[in-house]
Amino acid sequence: MSIYLFNYSLQAGIPYFMEPSMIKRMVLMMACLTLEASAGNAATYANTWQKGDGVLYSSVLSENADPGMISIILPGTRWASMVISFFGSPPCPQAHSTAEIWVESELETLGVKCETFGKVVIFSYTLADPLKVNALYQSLRAGHTLLIDRRFLISPGNLRHLQ
């Protein structure tokens, strides 16, 4: 049995979003997004947020209709963090690293992780600054659309109605 505290599995010692069950969910959600985008719905796509175990998550699309997923862990708390995951092209960088990524109109230093699962490569950006994450969360709750990495539009969708 795994016990989840914030975004880490205490049993396995790995980030919650990299648990095998979460990877399967991400791949399935991203595959569904790809099908929806290929049907011509990318321009009208709006995020539908889900909530579970202290995590808000939603699928996202890039400007090229590439699928991704955003997770906001423990929003509104001093432990808040955000993970944006998306399919990428191999190969993965050898080491965990950081990158300067545009978050709205500011450059932020985010953690970057890459995992290869067979032929599937998933990149994840992690924003670990709770003040910044909570500010972005409040902006979404206020109805504003966020732009991450100048390519992922994150709309508030139904976020206001989740408690």
Q: In total, how many domains does the chain have?
A: 1
Instruction: Please give the model's pTM, rounded to 2 decimal places.
Output: 0.71
122, pLDDT greater than 60: yes
> What sign does the dihedral 110-153-76-132 (CA atoms) show?
positive
Burial class (CB in 10 A: 0-12, 13-18, 19+), 104: middle
The pLDDT value recorded for residue 45 is 53
Is 161 part of any domain? no
The pLDDT value recorded for residue 99 is 85
Is 133 part of any domain? yes
Which carries the bigger pLDDT value, residue 104 or residue 31?
Answer: 104
Is 163 part of any domain? no
Q: What is the pLDDT of residues 28-44, one digit of tens each?
A: 555 554 444 444 444 44
Burial class (CB in 10 A: 0-12, 13-18, 19+), 60: buried
5, pLDDT greater than 70: no
Q: Which residues have CB under 8 Å from 159's CB, separation 6+?
A: 47, 49, 56, 140, 141
Enclosing domain of residue 127: 4-156
Contact 58, 48 (CB under 8 A): yes
